[in-house]
């Protein structure tokens, strides 16, 4: 597996980028220069390929301790396969940065220049000063998740294709056994279970967005303690109610705050929130409409994506919001592009305004989340998509999708039986996903595409 090291002066955002690539809050981040003094390592998935990411200590020789950290960082760079040299885009490049960058460049390894904290037009104009490094640079904002995909594409080009899983054919054969001769899932497969089970609905959000008030409004009782004190809810609070012939179990989780502000017992509550989501079907992501969206909202939203849950975005405290609804939704969609499938509803939990609209929306999302898609329609949609935009060839060789079939529920999982599954680029996979979404109404539900190898003999076709 290739290794990638992130290098730069203190406080340029290396640990934040490390966490972003790793998909988890592993490295401690703060505004204090020199927080990272050793190297953190984690395996990350860049689209469909893996890489070992290394977060290094800041390049600073102003003290004996920092000089040792810098020496270790530069030593680690010599053994890494790829280097990301990170700078602060709000400052002009320094002489030390130029000197270190050019010394790293002489190692002969692929190196990218990532200019962080590009948050506006003024920052973009200043970033052109980094042209003097003589290489293509990537203007990014880790906190806003801007420009990260372009940087990932650069990394992706140097990584080894993921090896085919040894049990892929066996797994696919097991799945196919669940389908009849017409290619449709056999009657009763998973459907009975999903049709009768209690629907688990986890309520997540940062502290003081009104999760407990929302739970109380949904179940019609003072089930959860509500106060202005941030972090009132520690233990998960669950309550069930009936709607449309189904049992809905709502779980109010502890509010999530910035890591540096988590105190005492709240650390245990944070871990329990993730465990609750592992056993949920639907997530209600609660946002405070009276305040601007922030990075913490984005990180919490990532939990729903991580566990592939059905999702509804709740804009609470809408009675206190002074913004236009359409404008607010456009900004939200732009920031949370990875949750484009989620419906949005504005409510006021304290006044119980529009709360009644949440119940049918939960049932709609759950229906899509556990839906059986017609195999014939799936293949028609895939064929139409390929006809409109053919699959790019890999090194002159054709990449073919022979057959598509749903192989799982909650959320819908579709196998793409192919001759070269590893050659299906993430961007084309995303294109197919969008086309399938256009063919099937799947509001609120993720859609998982799983390229699968047909057989060894087909590799030669």
Instruction: Tell me: is residue 220 an annotated ligand-binding position.
Output: no
Given the DSSP bridges, would you call strands 111-116 and 401-408 parallel, antiparallel or unpaired?
unpaired
159 marked as binding residue = no
Burial (CB count within 10 angstroms: exposed 0-12, middle 13-18, buried 19+), residue 117: buried
Q: What is the pLDDT of residue 345?
A: 96
* Mean pLDDT, residues 383-388: 94
**9 among annotated binding-site residues:** yes
For residue 123, pLDDT beyond 90: no
* Torsion on CA atoms 357, 359, 361, 364, rounded to nearest 10: -150
Tell me if 13 is assigned to a ligand binding site: yes
Whether residue 230 contacts residue 236, with contact meaning beta carbons closer than 8 Å, is answered with no
Does the annotation flag 10 for ligand binding? yes
In the 8-state DSSP scheme, what is residue 312?
E
Mean pLDDT of 341-368: 94
Does the annotation list 252 as a binding residue?
A: yes
Give percent of the chain with pLDDT exceeding 70: 77
Domain boundaries, the chain: 3-157, 166-186+372-453, 197-370
Average pLDDT over residues 305-329: 92
- 14 is known to lie in a ligand binding site: yes
134 has binding-site annotation: no
pLDDT of the residue at 210: 86
pLDDT per position as a tens digit, 144-171:
888 998 999 999 999 988 655 444 445 4
237's CB contacts (< 8 A; 6+ apart) are: 212, 215, 223, 224, 251, 252
Pick the CATH number of 3-157 from 3.40.50.700, 3.40.50.150, 3.40.50.2000, 3.40.50.300: 3.40.50.300
**CATH C-level class of 166-186+372-453:** alpha beta
| CA trace torsion 242, 245, 249, 252 (10° rounding) | -60
Indicate the angle between helix axes 375-388 and 426-439, nearest 10 degrees: 130
Q: Identify which of 368, 398, 397 has the alpha carbon closest to the alpha carbon of residue 386.
A: 398
- 417 has binding-site annotation: no
Domain formed by 197-370, architecture? 3-Layer(aba) Sandwich (3.40)
Does the predicted TM-score (pTM) go above 0.75?
no
If you search the block for the tokens 């290619």, which residue do you land on?
Answer: 183
Burial (0-12, 13-18, 19+ Cβ within 10 Å), 283: buried
Q: Residue 338 and residue 188: Cα distance in Å, rounded?
A: 32
Q: Is 12 annotated as a binding residue?
A: yes
Average pLDDT over residues 77-97: 89
- Of 450, 382, 361, which Cα lies nearest the Cα of 412? 450
Asked if 274 and 303 touch (Cβ cutoff 8 Å), the reply is yes
Q: Which residue has the tokens 């990170």?
A: 86
Instruction: Tell me whether residue 118 is annotated as binding.
Output: yes
Strand order in the sheet with 310-316: 237-243, 246-252, 199-204, 282-288, 310-316, 344-346
Lowest-pLDDT range of 64-73, 108-117, 239-248 = 64-73
Whole-number Å distance between alpha carbons of 424 and 120: 34
Establish whether 318 is an annotated binding residue. Answer: yes
Find out whether 379 is annotated in a ligand binding site: no
Buried b or exposed e, range 307-322, using 16+ CB within 10 angstroms: bebbbbbbbbbbeebe
Q: What is the mean pLDDT of the chain?
A: 79
Helices (H), 311-374: 325-335, 358-369
161 vs 379: CA distance, rounded Å: 27
Tell whether residue 256 is among the known ligand binding residues: yes
Nearest residue to 429 (alpha-carbon basis) of 444, 445, 447, 411: 447
User: Is 211 labelled as part of a ligand binding site?
Assistant: yes
- Residue 178 assigned ligand-binding role: no
Tell me the pairing of strands 246-252 and 310-316: unpaired
Burial of 72 (0-12, 13-18, 19+ CB in 10 A): middle
**In this predicted structure, what is the pLDDT of residue 229?**
36
pLDDT at 173: 52
Q: Rounded CA gap, 159 and 2, in Å?
A: 6
Using the predicted structure, report yes or no on whether residue 174 has a pLDDT greater than 60: no
- The yes-or-no answer to whether 3-157 and 197-370 have a common fold is yes
Question: Of the ranges 36-40, 181-185, 229-233, 410-414, which is most confident?
Answer: 410-414
In terms of pLDDT, which residue wins out, 10 or 148?
Answer: 148
Cβ-contact 349, 214 below 8 angstroms: yes
Is residue 319 annotated as involved in ligand binding? yes
**Share above pLDDT 90 across residues of the chain, in percent, rounded to a whole number:** 33
Determine if residue 8 is labeled as part of a ligand binding site.
yes
- Count CA atoms closer than 13 A to 75's CA, side-chain side: 8
pLDDT of 81 over the 90 cut: yes
Mean pLDDT of 257-265: 44
């Amino acid at each position: 597996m290739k290794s990638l090291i992130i290098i730069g002066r203190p406080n340029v955002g290396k640990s934040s980028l490390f966490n972003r690539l790793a998909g988890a809050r592993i490295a401690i981040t703060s505004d204090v220069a020199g927080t990272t003094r050793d190297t953190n390592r984690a395996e990350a998935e860049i689209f469909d390929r893996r890489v070992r990411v290394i977060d290094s200590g800041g390049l600073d020789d102003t003290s004996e301790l920092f000089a040792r950290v810098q020496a270790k960082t530069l030593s680690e760079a010599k053994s890494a396969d790829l280097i990301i040299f990170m700078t602060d885009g709000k400052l002009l490049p320094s002489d030390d940065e130029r000197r270190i960058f050019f010394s790293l460049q002489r190692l002969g390894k692929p190196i990218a220049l990532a200019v962080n904290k590009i948050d506006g037009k003024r920052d973009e104009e200043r970033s052109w000063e980094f042209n003097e490094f003589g290489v293509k640079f990537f203007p990014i904002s880790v906190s806003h998740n801007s420009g990260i995909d372009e940087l990932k594409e650069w990394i992706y080009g140097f990584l080894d294709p993921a090896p085919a899983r040894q049990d892929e054919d066996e797994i696919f054969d097991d799945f196919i056994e669940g389908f009849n001769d017409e290619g449709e899932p056999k009657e009763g497969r998973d459907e009975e279970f999903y049709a009768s089970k209690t629907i688990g609905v986890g309520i997540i959000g940062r502290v003081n967005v009104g999760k407990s008030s929302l739970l109380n409004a949904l179940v019609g009782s003072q089930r959860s303690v509500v106060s202005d004190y941030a972090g009132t809810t520690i233990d998960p609070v669950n309550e069930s109610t009936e709607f449309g012939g189904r049992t809905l179990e709502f779980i109010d989780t502890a509010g999530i705050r910035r890591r540096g502000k988590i105190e005492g017992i709240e650390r245990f509550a944070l871990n329990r929130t993730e465990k609750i989501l592992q056993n949920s079907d639907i997530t209600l992501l609660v946002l405070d409409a009276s305040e601007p969206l922030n990075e913490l909202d984005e990180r919490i939203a990532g939990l729903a994506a991580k566990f592939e849950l059905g999702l509804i975005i709740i804009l609470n405290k809408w009675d206190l919001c002074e913004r236009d609804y359409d404008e607010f939704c456009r900004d939200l969609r732009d920031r949370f592009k990875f949750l484009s499938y989620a419906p949005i509803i504005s409510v006021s939990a304290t006044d119980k305004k529009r709360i009644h609209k949440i119940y049918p929306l939960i049932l709609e999302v759950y229906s899509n989340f556990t839906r059986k898609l017609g195999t014939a329609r799936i293949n028609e949609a895939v064929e139409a998509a390929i006809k409109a935009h053919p699959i790019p060839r890999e090194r002159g060789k054709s990449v073919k999708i022979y057959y598509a079939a749903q192989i799982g529920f909650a959320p819908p999982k579709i196998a793409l039986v192919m001759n070269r599954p590893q050659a299906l680029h993430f961007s084309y996979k995303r294109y197919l996903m969008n086309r399938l979404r256009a063919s099937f109404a799947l509001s609120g539900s993720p859609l998982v595409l799983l390229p699968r190898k047909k057989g060894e003999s087909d590799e030669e076709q």
